[in-house]
Amino acid sequence: MREWSKRNFNWLMPLAFSVAMAGLWYAVSYLLLSDNRQFLVPPLHEVITRATAHDKVRGELLKGLLVTAKSSFAGLGIAAFLGIVFAIFMNLRRWVERSFFPWAVVLQTIPILALVPLIGGLFGFGFSARVIVVVLISLFPIITNTLFGLQSVETNLHELFTLHKASRWTRLTRLELHAALPATFTGLRIAAGLSVIGAIVGEFFFGRGEKGIGVLIDKYRGLAATREILAALIISSLLGIFVFWGFTLLGRLSTRNWHAASSQ
Protein backbone atom coordinates (compact mmCIF):
# COMPACT_ATOMS: atom_id res chain seq x y z
CA MET A 1 0.00 0.00 0.00
CA ARG A 2 2.81 2.38 0.88
CA GLU A 3 4.65 1.64 -2.39
CA TRP A 4 1.41 2.15 -4.35
CA SER A 5 0.86 5.52 -2.68
CA LYS A 6 4.44 6.58 -3.32
CA ARG A 7 4.19 5.57 -7.00
CA ASN A 8 0.99 7.56 -7.46
CA PHE A 9 2.50 10.54 -5.64
CA ASN A 10 5.48 10.51 -8.02
CA TRP A 11 3.09 10.75 -10.98
CA LEU A 12 0.52 13.09 -9.47
CA MET A 13 2.95 15.81 -8.41
CA PRO A 14 4.41 16.40 -11.91
CA LEU A 15 0.85 16.32 -13.30
CA ALA A 16 -0.34 18.83 -10.72
CA PHE A 17 2.61 21.11 -11.45
CA SER A 18 1.88 20.94 -15.20
CA VAL A 19 -1.75 21.86 -14.56
CA ALA A 20 -0.59 24.76 -12.38
CA MET A 21 1.72 26.03 -15.13
CA ALA A 22 -1.11 25.81 -17.67
CA GLY A 23 -3.32 27.75 -15.25
CA LEU A 24 -0.61 30.40 -14.89
CA TRP A 25 -0.45 30.67 -18.69
CA TYR A 26 -4.22 31.28 -18.87
CA ALA A 27 -4.04 33.76 -15.99
CA VAL A 28 -1.42 35.82 -17.83
CA SER A 29 -3.39 35.63 -21.08
CA TYR A 30 -6.86 36.46 -19.73
CA LEU A 31 -6.22 38.42 -16.51
CA LEU A 32 -2.94 40.32 -16.90
CA LEU A 33 -3.22 41.25 -20.57
CA SER A 34 -5.91 43.40 -22.08
CA ASP A 35 -7.76 42.21 -25.18
CA ASN A 36 -5.61 44.29 -27.52
CA ARG A 37 -2.40 42.83 -26.02
CA GLN A 38 -3.52 39.21 -25.71
CA PHE A 39 -1.68 38.38 -28.91
CA LEU A 40 1.57 38.56 -26.88
CA VAL A 41 0.59 35.47 -24.86
CA PRO A 42 -2.33 33.77 -26.63
CA PRO A 43 -4.31 31.15 -24.67
CA LEU A 44 -2.68 27.73 -24.62
CA HIS A 45 -5.50 26.00 -26.48
CA GLU A 46 -5.17 28.47 -29.37
CA VAL A 47 -1.44 27.70 -29.65
CA ILE A 48 -2.10 23.95 -29.66
CA THR A 49 -4.93 24.29 -32.16
CA ARG A 50 -2.75 26.38 -34.47
CA ALA A 51 0.02 23.78 -34.35
CA THR A 52 -2.22 20.75 -34.89
CA ALA A 53 -5.25 21.85 -36.91
CA HIS A 54 -3.61 24.16 -39.46
CA ASP A 55 -2.16 21.89 -42.15
CA LYS A 56 0.56 24.27 -43.33
CA VAL A 57 1.80 25.13 -39.84
CA ARG A 58 1.67 21.49 -38.72
CA GLY A 59 3.65 20.38 -41.77
CA GLU A 60 6.28 23.09 -41.27
CA LEU A 61 6.70 22.29 -37.58
CA LEU A 62 7.02 18.54 -38.13
CA LYS A 63 9.60 18.97 -40.89
CA GLY A 64 11.43 21.56 -38.82
CA LEU A 65 11.44 19.21 -35.84
CA LEU A 66 13.09 16.46 -37.90
CA VAL A 67 15.74 18.86 -39.24
CA THR A 68 16.54 20.21 -35.78
CA ALA A 69 16.59 16.72 -34.28
CA LYS A 70 19.07 15.58 -36.93
CA SER A 71 21.47 18.43 -36.18
CA SER A 72 21.00 18.03 -32.43
CA PHE A 73 21.58 14.27 -32.38
CA ALA A 74 24.60 14.47 -34.67
CA GLY A 75 26.24 17.21 -32.63
CA LEU A 76 25.41 15.53 -29.33
CA GLY A 77 26.89 12.24 -30.52
CA ILE A 78 30.13 13.92 -31.58
CA ALA A 79 30.27 15.94 -28.34
CA ALA A 80 29.73 12.78 -26.28
CA PHE A 81 32.55 10.95 -28.04
CA LEU A 82 34.99 13.88 -27.84
CA GLY A 83 34.04 14.75 -24.27
CA ILE A 84 34.58 11.23 -22.95
CA VAL A 85 37.85 10.83 -24.88
CA PHE A 86 39.20 14.18 -23.66
CA ALA A 87 38.18 13.36 -20.08
CA ILE A 88 39.98 9.99 -20.26
CA PHE A 89 43.20 11.57 -21.50
CA MET A 90 42.94 14.31 -18.88
CA ASN A 91 42.53 11.64 -16.21
CA LEU A 92 45.46 9.57 -17.50
CA ARG A 93 47.92 12.45 -17.76
CA ARG A 94 47.87 15.38 -15.36
CA TRP A 95 49.71 17.62 -17.83
CA VAL A 96 46.91 17.06 -20.36
CA GLU A 97 44.34 18.24 -17.81
CA ARG A 98 46.40 21.30 -16.92
CA SER A 99 46.96 22.14 -20.59
CA PHE A 100 43.51 21.47 -22.02
CA PHE A 101 41.03 22.17 -19.23
CA PRO A 102 41.57 25.98 -19.13
CA TRP A 103 40.80 26.12 -22.84
CA ALA A 104 37.65 24.07 -22.30
CA VAL A 105 36.58 26.67 -19.73
CA VAL A 106 37.38 29.48 -22.17
CA LEU A 107 35.31 27.75 -24.86
CA GLN A 108 32.38 27.55 -22.44
CA THR A 109 32.57 31.22 -21.46
CA ILE A 110 32.82 32.66 -24.99
CA PRO A 111 29.35 33.73 -26.22
CA ILE A 112 28.53 31.28 -28.99
CA LEU A 113 26.89 34.06 -31.00
CA ALA A 114 30.29 35.72 -31.32
CA LEU A 115 31.63 32.58 -33.01
CA VAL A 116 28.72 32.11 -35.41
CA PRO A 117 30.09 34.43 -38.16
CA LEU A 118 33.51 32.76 -37.90
CA ILE A 119 31.99 29.26 -38.07
CA GLY A 120 29.88 30.29 -41.05
CA GLY A 121 32.88 31.73 -42.87
CA LEU A 122 34.99 28.61 -42.30
CA PHE A 123 32.44 25.81 -42.71
CA GLY A 124 29.59 27.38 -44.66
CA PHE A 125 26.06 27.88 -43.40
CA GLY A 126 24.58 24.41 -43.80
CA PHE A 127 24.33 21.24 -41.77
CA SER A 128 28.02 21.03 -40.85
CA ALA A 129 28.05 24.51 -39.32
CA ARG A 130 24.94 23.74 -37.26
CA VAL A 131 26.51 20.55 -35.93
CA ILE A 132 29.67 22.43 -34.93
CA VAL A 133 27.60 24.91 -32.93
CA VAL A 134 25.88 22.01 -31.15
CA VAL A 135 29.24 20.41 -30.35
CA LEU A 136 30.68 23.64 -28.94
CA ILE A 137 27.67 24.19 -26.69
CA SER A 138 27.33 20.57 -25.53
CA LEU A 139 30.98 19.59 -25.01
CA PHE A 140 31.86 21.20 -21.67
CA PRO A 141 29.38 19.47 -19.30
CA ILE A 142 30.31 16.06 -20.73
CA ILE A 143 34.03 16.69 -20.15
CA THR A 144 33.65 18.06 -16.64
CA ASN A 145 31.22 15.42 -15.38
CA THR A 146 33.10 12.50 -16.90
CA LEU A 147 36.41 13.78 -15.51
CA PHE A 148 34.81 14.22 -12.09
CA GLY A 149 33.54 10.63 -12.21
CA LEU A 150 36.91 9.25 -13.27
CA GLN A 151 38.69 11.08 -10.46
CA SER A 152 36.12 10.19 -7.79
CA VAL A 153 36.97 6.50 -7.45
CA GLU A 154 37.47 5.52 -3.82
CA THR A 155 41.05 5.15 -2.69
CA ASN A 156 40.52 1.66 -1.28
CA LEU A 157 39.38 0.43 -4.70
CA HIS A 158 42.53 1.81 -6.30
CA GLU A 159 44.56 0.08 -3.61
CA LEU A 160 42.75 -3.19 -4.34
CA PHE A 161 43.67 -2.95 -8.03
CA THR A 162 47.24 -2.08 -7.08
CA LEU A 163 47.36 -5.11 -4.80
CA HIS A 164 46.37 -7.32 -7.72
CA LYS A 165 48.97 -5.60 -9.93
CA ALA A 166 46.37 -4.45 -12.43
CA SER A 167 47.63 -2.65 -15.53
CA ARG A 168 46.68 0.97 -16.24
CA TRP A 169 44.34 -0.18 -19.00
CA THR A 170 42.61 -2.65 -16.66
CA ARG A 171 42.24 0.01 -13.99
CA LEU A 172 40.69 2.38 -16.53
CA THR A 173 38.28 -0.08 -18.16
CA ARG A 174 37.32 -2.18 -15.13
CA LEU A 175 37.24 0.48 -12.43
CA GLU A 176 37.34 4.14 -13.45
CA LEU A 177 35.01 4.08 -16.46
CA HIS A 178 32.43 2.02 -14.58
CA ALA A 179 32.62 4.34 -11.58
CA ALA A 180 32.27 7.39 -13.84
CA LEU A 181 29.04 6.19 -15.51
CA PRO A 182 26.58 8.07 -13.23
CA ALA A 183 28.52 11.33 -13.59
CA THR A 184 28.90 10.82 -17.35
CA PHE A 185 25.15 10.37 -17.79
CA THR A 186 24.57 13.49 -15.71
CA GLY A 187 26.74 15.39 -18.17
CA LEU A 188 24.88 13.83 -21.10
CA ARG A 189 21.53 14.85 -19.65
CA ILE A 190 22.75 18.43 -19.28
CA ALA A 191 24.16 18.37 -22.80
CA ALA A 192 20.87 16.99 -24.16
CA GLY A 193 19.04 20.26 -23.57
CA LEU A 194 22.02 22.30 -24.69
CA SER A 195 22.21 20.37 -27.96
CA VAL A 196 18.66 21.42 -28.89
CA ILE A 197 19.48 25.03 -28.00
CA GLY A 198 22.66 24.83 -30.10
CA ALA A 199 20.81 23.43 -33.11
CA ILE A 200 18.17 26.18 -32.93
CA VAL A 201 20.78 28.92 -32.46
CA GLY A 202 22.70 27.65 -35.48
CA GLU A 203 19.56 27.52 -37.63
CA PHE A 204 18.37 30.92 -36.42
CA PHE A 205 21.57 32.76 -37.31
CA PHE A 206 22.78 30.81 -40.33
CA GLY A 207 19.33 30.80 -41.90
CA ARG A 208 20.32 28.61 -44.85
CA GLY A 209 19.79 25.01 -45.77
CA GLU A 210 16.88 22.97 -44.49
CA LYS A 211 14.29 24.82 -42.43
CA GLY A 212 14.61 23.69 -38.84
CA ILE A 213 12.83 25.09 -35.78
CA GLY A 214 15.28 28.01 -35.58
CA VAL A 215 14.56 29.09 -39.17
CA LEU A 216 10.82 28.79 -38.54
CA ILE A 217 11.05 30.89 -35.38
CA ASP A 218 12.85 33.60 -37.34
CA LYS A 219 10.19 33.39 -40.07
CA TYR A 220 7.30 33.59 -37.60
CA ARG A 221 9.01 36.47 -35.78
CA GLY A 222 9.09 38.46 -39.00
CA LEU A 223 5.38 37.77 -39.49
CA ALA A 224 4.57 38.59 -35.84
CA ALA A 225 2.90 35.16 -35.63
CA THR A 226 3.00 34.69 -31.87
CA ARG A 227 0.96 31.47 -31.83
CA GLU A 228 3.32 29.82 -34.29
CA ILE A 229 6.39 31.02 -32.34
CA LEU A 230 5.06 29.57 -29.09
CA ALA A 231 4.14 26.32 -30.84
CA ALA A 232 7.69 26.05 -32.19
CA LEU A 233 9.12 26.71 -28.72
CA ILE A 234 6.90 24.03 -27.18
CA ILE A 235 7.96 21.49 -29.81
CA SER A 236 11.65 22.28 -29.30
CA SER A 237 11.19 21.91 -25.53
CA LEU A 238 9.54 18.52 -26.03
CA LEU A 239 12.51 17.44 -28.15
CA GLY A 240 14.90 18.42 -25.36
CA ILE A 241 12.77 16.57 -22.78
CA PHE A 242 12.70 13.48 -25.00
CA VAL A 243 16.50 13.37 -25.29
CA PHE A 244 16.88 14.10 -21.56
CA TRP A 245 14.55 11.24 -20.61
CA GLY A 246 16.32 8.96 -23.05
CA PHE A 247 19.67 9.46 -21.33
CA THR A 248 17.98 9.21 -17.92
CA LEU A 249 16.53 5.82 -18.84
CA LEU A 250 19.80 4.64 -20.34
CA GLY A 251 21.67 5.76 -17.23
CA ARG A 252 19.29 3.89 -14.94
CA LEU A 253 19.59 0.73 -17.02
CA SER A 254 23.38 1.00 -16.96
CA THR A 255 23.65 1.46 -13.18
CA ARG A 256 20.59 -0.35 -11.81
CA ASN A 257 22.64 -3.37 -10.67
CA TRP A 258 24.81 -1.08 -8.52
CA HIS A 259 21.78 0.45 -6.82
CA ALA A 260 20.27 -2.98 -6.25
CA ALA A 261 23.49 -4.22 -4.72
CA SER A 262 23.92 -1.17 -2.49
CA SER A 263 20.38 -1.45 -1.14
CA GLN A 264 20.82 -5.04 0.03
Q: Looking at residue 259, what is its pLDDT?
A: 46
- The confidence band for 212, taking pLDDT boundaries of 50, 70 and 90, is confident
Does 8 score more than 80 pLDDT? no
For residues 199 and 236, give the distance between their C-alpha atoms in angstroms, rounded to a whole number.
10
> What backbone torsions phi and psi does residue 121 show, to the nearest 5 degrees?
-70, -35
Answer yes or no: are the C-beta atoms of 200 and 213 closer than 8 Å. Answer: yes
The string of pLDDT tens digits covering residues 39-97 is 788 888 888 888 888 788 888 899 999 999 999 999 999 999 999 999 999 988 888 88
Prediction pTM value: 0.82
Does 1 score more than 70 pLDDT? no
Domains of the chain, residue spans:
1-41, 49-262
User: What CATH number was assigned to the domain covering residues 49-262?
Assistant: 1.10.3720.10
Residue in 249, 207, 212, 257 with CA at minimum distance from that of residue 232: 212
Q: Looking at residue 258, what is its pLDDT?
A: 56
The string of pLDDT tens digits covering residues 213-227 is 888 888 888 888 888
Q: Determine which of 131-135, 205-209, 210-214, 229-233 has the lowest per-residue pLDDT on average.
A: 205-209
